[in-house]
Amino acid sequence: LGRAPSVWGEVVHGLKRGRELGYPTANLSHDLEGFVPADGVYAGWLVDVDGTRRISYPAAISVGTNPTFDDVHSRQVEAYVLDETDLDLYGHHVEVRFVERVRGMTAFDGIDALLVQMADDVERTRAILR
């Protein structure tokens, strides 16, 4: 396509489980603009486009229904900004740019296995965006 595909939407409140996991994510509202790529994990950028400024943050992005848990039923796009634990983007309009696919979405047997994989996703994302 010549450039990274993007979606645009507002950051809404998710289930807040990501914070407990150590990977808080900015969840995009479901009425986003643009085409969401296939379920999986991607390296990319979360661009805060509020006001006249654009601030880009490196992010590990998850697309899917969070199949490890049985409480999310609709597909969602969520972005973990690398090394950020208290960035407050609620209500902000953001662009999520998908740079490279890292892997498919997986239903893990438990949280420990998911956390091991997410740590690896973060390192791969860091290497891709460097």
Residues 65-84 that bind ligand FMN (CB under 6 A): 66-69, 78, 80
Q: Which stretch, 31-39, 48-56, 81-89, 115-123, contacts ligand FMN (CB under 6 A)?
A: 115-123
Q: Which of 24, 69, 42 is nearest to 7 (CA)?
A: 42
In a 3-state reduction of DSSP, which class is residue 70?
Answer: coil
Binding of residue 95 to ligand FMN (CB under 6 A)? no
Q: Is 18 in the site for ligand FMN (CB under 6 A)?
A: yes
Which residue(s) pair with 76 in the sheet?
64
Q: 129, 81 in Cβ contact below 8 A?
A: no
- Write out the H or E segment, with its range, that includes residue 129: helix 111-129
The distance in angstroms from the start CA to the end CA of the chain is: 21
Which residue lies nearer to ligand FMN by CB, 51 or 68? 68
Query: Smaller CB distance to ligand FMN: residue 53 or 130?
Result: 130
Chain residues binding ligand FMN by CB under 6 A are: 14-18, 21, 23, 25, 27, 41, 60, 62, 66-69, 78, 80, 105-106, 108, 114, 117-118, 121
